[in-house]
C-alpha cells in the first residue's frame, strides 16, 4: 500500500514536470510569431495553454492534498504530544505545591504545639 | 542525636540530587534546558518562515495565472473567454484552499514547540528554592516549640544551604523532565519534519516552475526582443531588465538550498536527541530557509514592479 502510494506520488510529480515543460514551450512562442499565425491557429494555441495550465493546477492540488492527508494522519499524535508537555509542566508545578503544602502542615503543627505548651 | 538527624537530612538531599543528575545523563541540567529552549526557538522560527513561504507561494500562483490569462485573452476565441476564466478560477481556488490547509498543519507544530518552550522556560527553580526555604523555616520554628524533643535541628546557615540544594535538585528534575519529553516525542517530531521536508520540496517545485516561466518571459520580451530589434534603441531600462534576468537565475538556486535546509534540520534534530549535535546547527539550517524566503519575496516584488 505504502509503495503504491509512493509510486503514485512519483508518477504525479513526473506528470506535473512534463506538463510544466510543455507549457513553457508553448509560452516560449513569441507574440510576434503568434500575431503572424492564422486566427484559427492562434485560438488553438490559447486552448492548448488553457488545457495545460488547468491540468497542471489540478495535478499540483491533488499532489498537495495527498500530502495534507499524511499531515492529518499524524495530527492526533502531535496534539497528544503537546498535551503531554502541558501535563509535564503541571506535574512539575504540583511538586513545588507539595513542598509548600508540607511547609504549611509543619507550621500548623507548630502553632498547635505552641498553643498547648 | 539532633546533629545526626541534621547530617542524615542533608545526606538524603545530596543523594537525591546525585540521583537526579544520574537519571538525567551526562549532559548538565543547564545545558539540557538551554538545548530545549534553543530547539523551541528554532521550531517556532521555522513555522513562521513556512507561513511566509506559503504567502509567497499563494501570491505567486495567483499572479502567474492572471498574467497567463491576460496574454491568452489576446489570442483566444472571445466565445471561450468566460469558460476559460471560470475553469481557471475553480482550479486555482481549490489549489489556494489546499495550500491554506498547510498553514493550520504548521500551527499545530508551532503549538507543540510553544508548549515545549513553556516547559523548558518554566521558572520552577526559584519557586522550589523558596518552597524548600519555607519548609526548612517551618521545621526550625517547630524545633523552637519542641526544644526538648529529638528533631532535625537546623540553624540559619544550614537552612540557606538546604534551600540552595533544593533549587539544584529542582533544576536537575526539571532538566530530566525536558529530556524525557524530547526522547518521548522524538519519533512524532521526526515524522513531522519528514512531512515538512516533503512540503518544502513540493512548494519549491511549484515556485520553480512559475519562476522559470517568469524568467523565460523576461528573457524573451525584455532582453532578447529589444536587443535584436534594430529599429528601437536600448538604454538603461534594457540594462536593468538584463541585470534582473541574470540575477533571477540565482533565486532558483535558493529554492534548492531551502529544500536542503529542512532535510538538514531533520538530521540535526536526530543528532541533538542522540547528543551528537547542538541546537545551534538548527539555527544555521533556519538561516538558509530565511534567506530563501527573503529571496523569493524579493523576486516576487521585482516581478510586480516589472508589470507596473
The predicted-structure confidence for B147-189, as pLDDT tens digits, reads as follows: 555 555 556 666 666 666 666 666 677 777 788 888 888 888 8
On the question of pLDDT at B294 being above 70, the answer is no
Contact at CB, A103 and B138, closer than 8 angstroms? yes
* B101: pLDDT strictly greater than 90: yes
Number of Cβ pairs closer than 8 Å across A and B? 186
User: Which residue range forms the structural domain that includes residue A88?
Assistant: 2-116
Angstrom distance (rounded) from CA A52 to CA A46: 10
Q: Over the range B61-99, which residues count as b (16 or more CB within 10 Å of their CB) and which as e?
A: bebbbebbbeebeebbeeebeeebeebbeebbebbbebb
- Is a pLDDT exceeding 80 seen at residue B84? yes
Report how far residue A62's alpha carbon sits from residue B89's, in angstroms, rounded to the nearest whole number: 16
Name the minimum distance, in Å, from the CA of B129 to any CA of chain A. Answer: 9
Segment B231-259 shows an average pLDDT of 79
State the pLDDT at residue B2: 42
Check if the beta carbon of residue A5 is closer than 8 Å to that of residue A63.
Answer: no
Q: If DSSP codes are grouped into helix, strand and coil, which group holds residue A89?
A: helix
Could you read off the pLDDT of B58-73 as tens digits, one per residue? 999 999 999 999 999 9
The answer on pLDDT for B94 being more than 90 is yes
In the prediction, which pLDDT does B289 show?
60
The confidence band for A47, taking pLDDT boundaries of 50, 70 and 90, is very high
Which pLDDT does position B249 carry in this prediction? Answer: 74
Mutate to test the interface with A, among B81, B145, B148 (most CBs of A within 10 A): B145
Residue A96 vs residue B108, higher pLDDT: B108
Query: What was the pLDDT predicted at A37?
Result: 95
The per-residue DSSP string of B11-70 comes to HHHHHHHHHHHHHT-SS-HHHHHHHHHHHHHHHHHHHHHHHHHHHHHHHHHHHHHHHHHH
Domain residue ranges of chain B, discontinuous segments joined by +: 2-307
Which of residues 60 through 99 in chain A touch B, CB cutoff 8 A? Answer: 60-61, 63-65, 67-68, 70-72, 74-75, 77-79, 81-82, 84-86, 88-89, 91-93, 95-96, 99
Has the ipTM of the complex gone over 0.85?
A: no
Q: Which of B129 and A17 is assigned the larger pLDDT?
A: A17
State whether B202 and A63 contact (CB < 8 Å).
yes
Residues in A closer than 8 angstroms to B77, CB to CB, are: 43, 46-47
Q: Shortest CA distance to B191 belongs to which of B92, B80, B117, B112?
A: B112
Instruction: Spell B203-234 as b/e; 16+ CB within 10 A means b.
Output: bbbbbbbbbbbbbebbbbebbeebeeeeeeee
Asked if A57's CB is within 8 angstroms of B92's CB, the reply is: yes
Query: What is the chain A residue with the closest CA to B64?
Result: A53
Average pLDDT value for residue range B88-113: 93
Give the confidence band of B76 by pLDDT, cuts at 50, 70, 90.
very high
Test B146 with A65 for CB contact under 8 angstroms.
no
Q: Which of B53-57, B82-86, B103-107, B163-167 has the least mean pLDDT? A: B163-167
Min Cα separation A15/chain B (Å): 12
Compute how many other C-beta atoms are within 10 angstroms of the C-beta atom of residue B102.
23
A89, three cell numbers: 509542566
- Residue B75 and residue A34: Cβ atoms within 8 Å? yes
Residue B246 half-sphere exposure toward CB, CA atoms < 13 A: 5
Amino acid at each position: 500500500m505504502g509503495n503504491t502510494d509512493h509510486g503514485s506520488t512519483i508518477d504525479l510529480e513526473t506528470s506535473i514536470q512534463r506538463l510544466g515543460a510543455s507549457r513553457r514551450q508553448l509560452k516560449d512562442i513569441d507574440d510576434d510569431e503568434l500575431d503572424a499565425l492564422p486566427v484559427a491557429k492562434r485560438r488553438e494555441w490559447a486552448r492548448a495553454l488553457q488545457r495545460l495550465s488547468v491540468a497542471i493546477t489540478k495535478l499540483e492540488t491533488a499532489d498537495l492534498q495527498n500530502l495534507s492527508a499524511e499531515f492529518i494522519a499524524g495530527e492526533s499524535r502531535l496534539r497528544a504530544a503537546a498535551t503531554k508537555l502541558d501535563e509535564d509542566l503541571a506535574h512539575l508545578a504540583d511538586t513545588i505545591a507539595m513542598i509548600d503544602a508540607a511547609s504549611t502542615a509543619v507550621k500548623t503543627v507548630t502553632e498547635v504545639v505552641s498553643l498547648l505548651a | 542525636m539532633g546533629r545526626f538527624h541534621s547530617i542524615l537530612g542533608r545526606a538524603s538531599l545530596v543523594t537525591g540530587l546525585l540521583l537526579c543528575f544520574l537519571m538525567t545523563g551526562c549532559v548538565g541540567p543547564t545545558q539540557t534546558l538551554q538545548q530545549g529552549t534553543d530547539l523551541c526557538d528554532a521550531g517556532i522560527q521555522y513555522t513562521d518562515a513556512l507561513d511566509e513561504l506559503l504567502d509567497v507561494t499563494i501570491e505567486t500562483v495567483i499572479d502567474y495565472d492572471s498574467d497567463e490569462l491576460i496574454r491568452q485573452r489576446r489570442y483566444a476565441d472571445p466565445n471561450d473567454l468566460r469558460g476559460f476564466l471560470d475553469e481557471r478560477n475553480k482550479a486555482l481556488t481549490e489549489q489556494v484552499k489546499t495550500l491554506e490547509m498547510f498553514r493550520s498543519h504548521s500551527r499545530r507544530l508551532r503549538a507543540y514547540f510553544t508548549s515545549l518552550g513553556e516547559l523548558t522556560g518554566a521558572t520552577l527553580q526559584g519557586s522550589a528554592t523558596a518552597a524548600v526555604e519555607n519548609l526548612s523555616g517551618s521545621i526550625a520554628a517547630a524545633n523552637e516549640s519542641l526544644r526538648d524533643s529529638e528533631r532535625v535541628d537546623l540553624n540559619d546557615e544550614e537552612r540557606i544551604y538546604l534551600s540552595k540544594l533544593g533549587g539544584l535538585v529542582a533544576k536537575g528534575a526539571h532538566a530530566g523532565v525536558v529530556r524525557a519529553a524530547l526522547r518521548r516525542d522524538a519519533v512524532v517530531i521526526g515524522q513531522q519534519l519528514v512531512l515538512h521536508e516533503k512540503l518544502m520540496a513540493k512548494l519549491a517545485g511549484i515556485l520553480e516552475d512559475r519562476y522559470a516561466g517568469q524568467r523565460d518571459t523576461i528573457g524573451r520580451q525584455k532582453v532578447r526582443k529589444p536587443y535584436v530589434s534594430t529599429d528601437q534603441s536600448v538604454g538603461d531600462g534594457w540594462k536593468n531588465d538584463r541585470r534582473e534576468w541574470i540575477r533571477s537565475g540565482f533565486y532558483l538556486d535558493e529554492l534548492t538550498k531551502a529544500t536542503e535546509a529542512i532535510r538538514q534540520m531533520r538530521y540535526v534534530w536526530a543528532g541533538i536527541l542522540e547528543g551528537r549535535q547542538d541546537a545551534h546547527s538548527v539555527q544555521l539550517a533556519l538561516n538558509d530557509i530565511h534567506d530563501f524566503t527573503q529571496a523569493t519575496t524579493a523576486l516576487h516584488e521585482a516581478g510586480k514592479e516589472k508589470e507596473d
